[in-house]
Amino acid sequence: MAAADYRQLRAEQAAHRDSGSAVVLGIGLCVYVETTGGGGETGSVTVDRTGRATVLTGSSAQGQGHHTAWAMLVQNELGIPMDLVSIVSGDTALVPEVVGTFSSRSLQLGGSAVHQAATTVRARAREYAAECWSGVPRRDDLS
């Protein structure tokens, strides 16, 4: 209110009324708070023996370009070309806990979940590679 000099606006408004002017001065106030996020989101990344990646996400695309964004995140983190990344969304049998796609939360939360999953895959792959090259008997289960 101070930045808009509300007191001065009210004084101008009163002056218009007192003068009988045909010009009416109205003053509008608005407060806007945009919420974003709104809960967590899940995402997972798996890589099969052929080098293809599959992303499971709770964020269902409605034209925002999620599939491209998720594939880019996997490509950037794992080096797997985007055309070898499959995105599965909206399948509650595979991703049972979802919050939904609304506002600007999808890339913030869903994308962050996919990025974190890809980072975890990368870390596990490094551990596995180190075990393979070290001569130490390797684990068959990377989970």
Domain locations along the chain? 1-32, 43-134
pLDDT tens string 54-103: 999 888 777 788 899 999 999 999 999 999 999 998 788 888 777 767 66
Provide the token pair at 131: 């075990």
Within 8 A by CB and 6+ apart from 119, the residues are 77
Helix (H, G, I), strand (E, B) or coil at 27: coil
pTM (predicted TM-score)? 0.66
Place of tokens 């390797």: 138
- The shares of helix, strand and coil residues in the chain, as percent rounded to the nearest 5, are 40, 10, 50
Place of tokens 């509650």: 92
Q: Is 58 exposed, middle or buried (0-12, 13-18, 19+ CB in 10 A)?
A: buried
Domain 43-134 has CATH 1.10.10.10: no
From 13-17, 30-34, 134-138, the region with the lowest mean pLDDT: 134-138
Q: How far apart are the first and last CA of the chain?
A: 57
